[in-house]
A and B are shown apart, each in its own frame.
Chain A
Amino acid sequence: MEEKRYFDVDNIDVAVIGAGHAGCEAALACARLGLETVVFTVSVDSIALMPCNPNIGGSSKGHLVRELDALGGEMGKNIDKTFIQSKMLGTSKGPAVHSLRAQADKREYSTSMRKVLEQQEHLTIKQAEVCELLWSEVENDNSVNSDNAFRKVITGVVTGTGATYHAKAVVLCTGVYLNARCLTGESITHTGPNGLMAATHLSDSLREMGIELRRFKTGTPARMDGKSIDFSKMVEQPGDERIIPFSFSTDPDSIQKEQVSCWLTYTNEETHQVIRENLHRSPIYAGIIEGVGPRYCPSIEDKVVKFPDRERHQVFLEPEGLYTDEMYVDGMSSSLPEEVQLKMYRTVPGLEHCRIVRNAYAIEYDCISARQLYPSLEFKAVKGLFAGGQFNGSSGYEEAAAQGFVAGVNAAMEIFGKDPLILTRDESYIGVLIDDLVTKDNKEPYRMMTSRAEYRLLLRQDNADLRLRKYGYEIGLVSREIFEATVEMQHQIEEEMERLRSISLGANSRVQELLEQMGTTSLKTAATLADLLCRPELHYDDLAVLDPDRPELSDRVKEQVEIEIKYEGYIARQKKQVEQFQKMENRKIPADLDYDEVPSLRIEARAKLKEYNPISIGQASRISGVTPADVSVLLIYLEHRS
């Protein structure tokens, strides 16, 4: 290594490796905080590329985008600029399950984000493959537990051409590019997604630093020529009439526009037959793929195997953008051979004569188990080295962006000598995402899901700004003006709730008549406006006739008031659960705790605790393999110690 010639290019603050959804957020966060930042990408044309599905958001992922927006991220603003259809999902369910999803014009999304990066002060875009990381060893290691202390400090990166960038912090956002391999049946190419160049050197450098790598896989369906599809055999899926933006900063009126439709069709027994007959030619079932795929974003092969009794599975045809006829076949990702793919797709109603533009493929890549990271997304073993996105073992654009943002912010916080931004499970999906990644043993690409958030009723997509603006403001990525507007809105919500609780309606004939007109039962005794709002069939706007003196309030305030009152009991009980949770989170475990000194821990628990080095009793209790009795032992030990 010493003999290698380096060309010293620059002294910078932060090097971000990769310009996908994670890398863009990381780079923007650092540069916006005034740090000299270089973002490296193997291709400038692939900035913020959407190599898989053509949409942003969806169940629980929509929450991530809104939280990211509240903190000062870019994804929400970018999709608001480039969407071609928008839909609020889950509206037949409770407010916790509502989630926004927008179809993107893929090329617009990518170029629009590229422009934002280009126009950002302190940010440089560099097309180069980073092949090596530079670090130095820490000399004085005073810490009691050496497992715990930084042994290495990152000092910079080297590109394929030998150019060296000295940096105070490095953020790894390599996505699925490290040693990537794409598989379509027996055909294997060593490329990244969409035929792009893979990054083949960095893995060795990471291993040399002592970072453990693993292999994951994911897949994508075929893209079809829209002209070859018979949409008359499918069910049209239009967008919402009233479009709700992702970003809290986007004026809803400014984005109402004509939308394109998606189309729903189904697989059938014939489709499944083709798949079953050719399963042995699917790389994963033939044992060619060693990486583990996501259970929750399964290929059509997986679905047919997992649900053998199902007569059909949903298939959505989604436009890739306005610039092309290509359609994405959502629900049918596959790694079967090309000719099998065609046969399989052509069994689906509407796709009988389809022409495939791009084949479906599976992609296998190097990534890490995020157990090697602190919740700040910094490597436990390397000071100044952060990681975000699919490299951490997640899947999905939104998951990537959220982590990239946190990794970037915390790289900056470390340079500034400030406390890291660590979001918790009780205040955000981002907190759940990162806690799960760094605490649990994830054996497959991690996908965000509503069910993963225990306190989902509090973590709604509609109140992400009320929950998180304060952190964005503290970090310095949300302006005072915006923060104060959020505080003011909170104030209005509370005031209005108070008002509704205090106004009582008598059970007089006028009131009864109006209630009857609204299709709800009459009053037995006097009731407050809040009492009426608790009725499932009544909404805030319905009560206007009974409430002539109500103040002028924004739609968002009205929405919050209605949800907070209607689900008051549930929300209160969920808050109780959070109190319980926080008790355990607040019992901190000293960083220098030597688990070998804690008597009576079971061997497995001791090994797990040493490996994860949890920051709190709460985190310790979530580690798989650590039992409640182990946690009691730990609690008693900590009590004796203090």
Chain B
Amino acid sequence: MKGLFEDTIAAIATPLSAGGISIIRISGKDAVPIADTVCVTKSGKHFVKSMASHTVHYGFVAGSDGQIIDEVLTSVFLSPKSYTGENVVEISCHGGIVVTRKILGRILECGARLAEPGDFSKRAYLNGRMDLSQAEAVMDLITSESDAAAKASVHQLTGMLSGRIGEIREKILFETAHLEAAMDDPEHYDLTDYAEEFLPLLNALMSEIKKLMDSYSAGRILREGISTVILGQPNTGKSSLLNLLLGQERAIVSDISGTTRDTLEETLSLGDVTLHLIDTAGLRDADDPVEQIGVERALNAAAEAQLILYVIDSSLPLSEEDVQRISEYPNAFRVVILNKNDLQEAFVYEDAKKVFSDIPVISFSSKTGDGLLKLQDLIRDSFYRGAIQEESSIVITRARHMEALSDALKSLELVKDSVMAGMPEDLYTVDLMNAYRSLGLIIGAEIEDDLADKIFSEFCLGK
């Protein structure tokens, strides 16, 4: 069978880094001959052409001059049972930026073309090897920043999202079919009392979609990290906390209040959970216009934050302003950090517990590191468990999916309006079919003329 693409593509499929194994992937009708040319055994024989599909072979990659570039493992996946559906060869080498690039260069020299972003997955989709949501999951997988995000992507990759969407669509289609059968064969398909039976089902479908939509913010956390803001009065040790969490000197720390004039941003992983950390200028009525801007930014960041670490200097008495500030962000998950417990405390832990009743308080020292583990555990427990429901491990991670789900929900809401308004049942189908189509867009069961290109242009190289 002829392939959709005449050319053979190649790219480095793993992130380029100094350490670890690198994989170079080749796909297309000449993948095997090209690999055969570049790979040799110890005794200099070419072996790739004689390899069976789905086998791994030990060998070397040699340059055009016969010089060995690296020791490699070569895997062959013949069409159609390969990632792209074409013939695919993967060469695993010892890595290192220079060596990996050299091997790729050698492969390109032999006739392969450097893959464009998304090329491999585009071929996989067009050859029917994966559906759209799976293809998008691949993209998430390679751009995900933490283990939990990777897990969500893996679920999508194995078709869990497709499966769930498929189930919902199936139910919508079943009801539509029933309504339509009743139009044409009213004798055998009666709609008396149908609305009453239909309403609970409709509500169930809507809540299923809502549940998927709710996972979206969680999905965003997974992909981008929990947006976290460190707030507090000047010189309470916010930057020290940041540095401690990061384990490195990132922010300039000094005793002079107002040192941090702008917001600093960092990403850090606490086990499975990624924090997107924003350190802010201390909150005070600053005269300096630059610092003033910093304070404003801090407040803006806090307004959108999902986690607020509020630092209080426990060596000073509690100020009313702190209590006021903390109460301003009821939607965020808040933690009060009673810093400087290594000094003489003016505001003790027990009092803080009383004042902040439902907000967790941690006695802390950014100097000794006391409380750090407790803080990390608290964040992990609260967010990881809260963000990823045990029961719904499907997570919506893409704005495109979110939009389609939201459209589907809107359509079902219109159906509900029709039911409540006592409209004739046949009118339900207009919006039921809209919901069906919106959901179909997620899994590529509906055609959009520019969809494929739109999606695959976002892809990373080598996938």
Residues of chain B within 8 A (CB-CB) of A94 are 423-427
In contact, B126 and A587 (Cβ under 8 angstroms): no
Given contacts A536-B422, A629-B126, A633-B126, contact A584 B447 (CB under 8 A): yes
* Of listed B4, B6, B125, B451, residue having the most chain A CB within 10 A: B4
**B: number of interface residues (CB 8 Å):** 39
In contact, B184 and A451 (Cβ under 8 angstroms): yes
Interface residues in B1-58 (C-beta closer than 8 Å to A): 1-6
B4 and chain A: residue at smallest CB distance:
A600
* Of listed A573, A583, A600, A633, residue having the most chain B CB within 10 A: A600
Task: Select which of A307, A457, A629 is within 8 A of B188 by beta carbon.
Answer: A307
B421 and chain A: residue at smallest CB distance:
A536
In whole angstroms, how far apart are the Cα atoms of A96 and B182 in the complex?
13
Minimum CB–CB distance from A457 to chain B (whole Å) comes to 6
Residues of chain A within 8 A (CB-CB) of B427 are 94, 96, 457, 567, 570
Interface 0/1 of B403-430, CB less than 8 Å to A? 0000000000010000001111111001
Interface residues in A65-98 (C-beta closer than 8 Å to B): 90, 92-94, 96-97
In contact, B183 and A93 (Cβ under 8 angstroms): yes
Given contacts A567-B427, A587-B449, A600-B5, contact A59 B187 (CB under 8 A): no
Interface residues in B184-213 (C-beta closer than 8 Å to A): 184-188
In whole angstroms, how far apart are the Cα atoms of A90 and B437 in the complex?
28
Interface presence of A143 (CB below 8 A) = no
Interface 0/1 of B105-129, CB less than 8 Å to A? 0000000000000000000011110
In whole angstroms, how far apart are the Cα atoms of A92 and B449 in the complex?
40
Residues of chain B within 8 A (CB-CB) of A456 are 426
Interface presence of B446 (CB below 8 A) = yes
In contact, B4 and A577 (Cβ under 8 angstroms): no
Residues of chain B within 8 A (CB-CB) of A536 are 421-423
Minimum CB–CB distance from A632 to chain B (whole Å) comes to 5
* Of listed A96, A621, A632, A637, residue having the most chain B CB within 10 A: A632
Task: Select which of A92, A570, A574, A628 is within 8 A of B446 by beta carbon.
Answer: A628
Minimum CB–CB distance from A451 to chain B (whole Å) comes to 3
**A: number of interface residues (CB 8 Å):** 45
Interface 0/1 of A49-68, CB less than 8 Å to B? 00000000001100000000
Task: Select which of B185, B449, B452 is within 8 A of A583 by beta carbon.
Answer: B449
* Of listed B421, B425, B426, residue having the most chain A CB within 10 A: B426
In whole angstroms, how far apart are the Cα atoms of A94 and B422 in the complex?
11
In whole angstroms, how far apart are the Cα atoms of A307 and B187 in the complex?
12
Interface presence of B143 (CB below 8 A) = no
B181 and chain A: residue at smallest CB distance:
A451
Minimum CB–CB distance from B78 to chain A (whole Å) comes to 16
A629 and chain B: residue at smallest CB distance:
B128
Residues of chain B within 8 A (CB-CB) of A93 are 183, 424-426
Residues of chain A within 8 A (CB-CB) of B1 are 603
* Of listed A59, A310, A602, A635, residue having the most chain B CB within 10 A: A635
In whole angstroms, how far apart are the Cα atoms of A500 and B109 in the complex?
74
B131 and chain A: residue at smallest CB distance:
A629
Minimum CB–CB distance from B311 to chain A (whole Å) comes to 52
Minimum CB–CB distance from B459 to chain A (whole Å) comes to 16
Residues of chain A within 8 A (CB-CB) of B186 are 90
Interface presence of A403 (CB below 8 A) = no
Given contacts A599-B5, A628-B445, A633-B126, contact A577 B421 (CB under 8 A): no
Minimum CB–CB distance from B379 to chain A (whole Å) comes to 43
Interface presence of A313 (CB below 8 A) = yes
Minimum CB–CB distance from B257 to chain A (whole Å) comes to 57
Interface presence of B444 (CB below 8 A) = yes
In whole angstroms, how far apart are the Cα atoms of A346 and B443 in the complex?
56
In whole angstroms, how far apart are the Cα atoms of A59 and B181 in the complex?
12
Interface presence of B175 (CB below 8 A) = no
B5 and chain A: residue at smallest CB distance:
A599
Task: Select which of B425, B430, B446, B449 is within 8 A of A457 by beta carbon.
Answer: B430
In whole angstroms, how far apart are the Cα atoms of A307 and B423 in the complex?
30
Given contacts A450-B184, A587-B449, contact A573 B127 (CB under 8 A): no
Minimum CB–CB distance from B192 to chain A (whole Å) comes to 11
20 A-B contacts (beta carbon < 8 Å): A93-B183, A93-B426, A94-B423, A94-B425, A94-B426, A97-B424, A536-B421, A574-B430, A580-B437, A587-B449, A599-B2, A599-B6, A617-B449, A621-B447, A627-B128, A628-B444, A628-B447, A629-B128, A632-B125, A635-B452
13 further interface pairs, Cβ-Cβ under 8 Å (given A449-B184, A583-B449)? A59-B184, A90-B183, A93-B425, A310-B188, A450-B184, A451-B183, A536-B422, A584-B449, A599-B3, A600-B5, A627-B128, A632-B126, A636-B452
- Chain A positions within 8 Å of B, measured between CB atoms, are 59-60, 90, 92-94, 96-97, 296, 307, 310, 313-314, 449-451, 454, 456-457, 536, 567, 569-570, 573-574, 577, 580, 583-584, 587, 599-600, 602-603, 617, 621, 627-629, 631-633, 635-637
